[in-house]
Structure 1
């Protein structure tokens, strides 16, 4: 059993490690972070992302195992019209450089520019990252993380946007009310789908939950 709770700054190291383990085989991340120490560098990258962005201007939700509080999964959300400020990004710049290197930082900036061109202009929540630890996969953790935040967003009648390069994940998002908008071109080794979920009054609960 597990419970969905907001993450705190004290949770950053553990949450970042869980996300790193979930994304170690991701096709998009593989274009940015290379090498034998990829897991460590990804952990640093997610920690810097949380410190510079979502913990300040969005939401980070975690799934905690009830028996011991171990974090099994996490989701990073950006609130409408709230993104990391330049000052916050500059504070975390050393962390980004350690994770990506200078060349990787340039590649990441180009990737973000490609993704940004496809984002809707309408104010929306943005699911930046979601991942589940290997030991908890198949236990409904990802679905529970989505349901928990989408219920809150539905109460505000606001839409949600995300990108997904994994067909299995896209099926999960469709069960939660997302529809495919387009395929995003211009990214090496990946063709992520842009997906949108309209704002609504009543939450859509995934089948089986």
Structure 2
């Protein structure tokens, strides 16, 4: 199947979030923040969460890329622009009710603790941050993740900027290394995961 990578339209946020929810359904860090509940449709719940997370960043301060075949979204990557984000507080506050509905109070507090740990590991130099990337089960093994990375990193390189992410698995780290990221320090404090920071300096 022919796959095209491009910027997502606003009406595709939910479709991109659905792909991310499928990709992260078994993620140990996410399971620590928002454990599954009996009888729930976990992918639907996580889809609401990812949609709220994307919309919690102002449109001018994010890049949501999608991989599509026909009119079907099969991959998504959510990037945040270098800080500071003008209007970021307003965008985040607008999504708080949905985040609380999905996470609950306890899950929200766990998520804040998780974000603080992640933020402490981020470099001081301004950078694009890859918050989430995922591919649907039907499209895995076809290089979609690499296509999404190349699309975004071309944009980053044209602007002469740095890029940063965290990775929890050796397989993913091999992919990121092929695209110019180097291993940084492990991020501690998680019970079921061992994410590693990864940095890609600006191309000069």
Which TM-score band (shorter chain)?
over 0.9
- Which residue of structure 1 aligns with residue 165 of structure 2? 162
Q: What is the TM-score normalised by the length of structure 2?
A: 0.93
Task: Judge conservation of contact 1:54–1:60 (CA < 8 Å) in 2.
Answer: no
Flag as ranges the 4+ runs of structure 1 deviating above 2 A: none
Residue-by-residue CA offset, 1:38-69 (whole Å, 9 max, x unaligned): 2222111100011111634110000010xx21
- Return the alpha-carbon distance in structure 1 between the equivalents of residues 109 and 150 of structure 2: 35
Two-structure CA RMSD over aligned residues (Å): 1.3
Task: Establish whether residue 11 from structure 1 lines up as the match of residue 15 from structure 2.
Answer: no
Task: Work out the CA distance in 2 between the residues paired with 1:124 and 1:106.
Answer: 26
TM normalised by structure 1 equals 0.91
List gaps (5 residues or longer) in structure 2.
none
User: What is the distance in 2 between the residues matched to 1:55 and 1:130?
Assistant: 18
Cα deviations across residues 44-97 of structure 1 (Å, max 9, x unaligned)?
A: 1100011111634110000010xx210010000011114472211111111101
- Alpha-carbon distance between aligned partners in 2 of 1:139 and 1:112, rounded to the nearest angstrom: 31
Is this contact kept in 2: 1:158–1:199, CA < 8 A? yes
Matches within 5 A, 1:121-136: 121-136=124-139
Partner of 2:23: 22
Residue range with higher mean Cα deviation, 190-199 or 4-13: 4-13
| 1:56 to 1:154, Cα distance in 2 relative to 1, 3 A | closer
**Unaligned ranges ≥5, structure 1:** 202-209
